[in-house]
Amino acid sequence: MTSTERPMPPLNGDERTTLESWLDFYRATLATKCEGLTEEQLRTASVSPSPLTLLGLVQHMAEVERNWFRRVLAGEDAPPIYAEHADQRGRDEGFVVSDDRSFETVRKTWQDEIALAGANCASRSLDDTAPFRGGEVSLRWIYTHMIGEYARHDGHADLIRERIDGSTGV
């Protein structure tokens, strides 16, 4: 059994509750995929030649939370968390795992970014917008994008976890 509770999103909630609940569900799914594993297992790549790991996925999602809910939605000047691995365009998506960073440190950073995301969304409506790529992006769009982002990476996490110890599903 896992210690991360994955509350079922409401079957008949209003739009905001439904979006926030599905986002929380997928966040909890990623946390569940990492439970009970050693540091070494969390750093185990999916399958060659891919370097994708559970630790890298959690780092990536911390970066994604920061990007959408702080940089884009709130307009904060929030630098990349894992800047030492930025690409030639200055972007860092968090996938590269550093030897000197523990899962506990990465998990806490991710949870902190989730908390800041919640604070940045609390006073906004789904129709509130922020400048993005020469246009405007709504909080509704950001929530929908984040649900898709987590769902995709939770699928990756499920495959990585199955390769590590045979666990499937949740």
> Is pLDDT at 1 greater than 70 in this prediction?
no
Is it the case that residue 89 has pLDDT exceeding 70? no
Task: Enter the DSSP assignment of 141.
Answer: H
d(CA 86, CA 141): 26
Cis ω on the peptide bond leading into residue 49 (within 30° of 0)? yes
Q: Which domains does the chain have, with CATH numbers?
A: 19-165 (1.20.120.450)
CB 62 within 8 A of CB 153: no
Range list of β-strands (E), the chain: 129-132, 135-138
Q: Measured between alpha carbons, how far is 48 from 125 in angstroms, rounded to an integer?
A: 44
The whole-number pLDDT of residue 104 equals 98
Using alpha carbons only, give the angle 160, 26, 120 rounded to the nearest 5 degrees: 130
Q: What is the pTM of this model?
A: 0.92
By mean pLDDT, which of 91-100, 108-117, 151-160 is the weakest?
91-100
Predicted local confidence at residue 87, as pLDDT: 57
Q: How far apart are CA 124 and CA 69, in angstroms?
A: 11
At 7 the pLDDT is: 85
pLDDT tens digits for 27-84?
A: 999 999 999 999 999 999 988 888 899 999 999 999 999 999 999 999 999 998 987 6
**The Cα angle at residue 87 between residues 34 and 157, in degrees rounded to 5:** 20
Q: What is the mean pLDDT of the chain?
A: 91
Determine the pLDDT at residue 3: 59
Q: How far is CA 44 from the centre of its chain?
A: 19
Please, are residues 157 and 41 in contact by the beta-carbon 8 Å criterion? no
The two structure tokens encoding residue 18: 């439904």
- Residue 112 in this model has a pLDDT that exceeds 60: yes
Comparing 94 with 61, the larger pLDDT belongs to 61
Percent helix / strand / coil, the chain, rounded to 5? 55, 5, 40
Q: Kindly state the tokens that stand for 16.
A: 């905001």
